[in-house]
Structure 1
Amino acid sequence: MATTDNDTIIDQTLSERLMEKGRKSPFLVASLISLAGICGYGAYGFRKKKISTQLYLLQLRVVAQGTAIACLTIGMGYHMIKKYILHDEKEP
């Protein structure tokens, strides 16, 4: 639920909220997409594994978390450069 200037409540669908979040912080969406891709690759690779299940899942978790954190860190750097170096006035 979002509010407008006159405090009326507007119902938003999930896709509308995701599009709004994508406009505000595109690297968050990129990290979610990469995380889903890594999980898909992990599910595929799980069937073809040649190592123990515990070790495989541990390695997959570390890779997925590292990718999500890397995307968010790059996004923070991008926004800091945009705000402080390029002096974008529209940036909050």
Structure 2
Amino acid sequence: MPPSNNSWSSSQDDSEGSKLLRKSKESPFIPIGIAGCLAIVVLGLQRLRKTDQKMSVHLIHMRVAAQGFVVGAITLGVVYSMYNDYFRKPRQG
């Protein structure tokens, strides 16, 4: 059976680390959003011990903060991409 030329399969040259670096160079706001989400979760779990809030209310606040950070990072990424496509390097056509 010949090897498939499927774009979803990984080639032998591309290791997982180099794929991650290449993808994060293409869209740098995605790793920023993931890191921010993880930071909010870690900080929220640390603060959970110090507050007198009910756990359900605290978890809802953490979820909203983490989602807001990720949505903000994705929105900034889209705006940055649009800026690069339409203002910085306008298409010839």
Secondary structure of the residue aligned to 2:51 is: coil
Number of equivalent positions: 83
Superimposed CA distance per residue, residues 28-83 of structure 1 (whole angstroms, 9 cap, x where no aligned partner): 11101111111110111111122111100001000000000000100100010110
Distance 1:88 1:34, change over 3 A: farther
- After superposition, residues 43-62 of structure 1 pair within 5 angstroms as 43-62=45-64
**TM-score, normalised on structure 1?**
0.79
The equivalent position to 1:75 in structure 2, one of 49, 74, 77, is 77
- After superposition, residues 1-92 of structure 1 pair within 5 angstroms as 9-10=11-12, 12-87=14-89
Greater relative contact order, per chain length (Cα 8 Å cut-off, separation 6+): 2
Say what the alpha-carbon RMSD is for the aligned residues. 2.0
Q: Mind listing any 5+ residue stretches in structure 1 that lack a counterpart?
A: none
| Higher CA-based Rg | 2
**TM-score, normalised on structure 2?**
0.78
Q: Identify the structure with the greater strand proportion.
A: 1
Distance 1:13 1:36, change over 3 A: farther
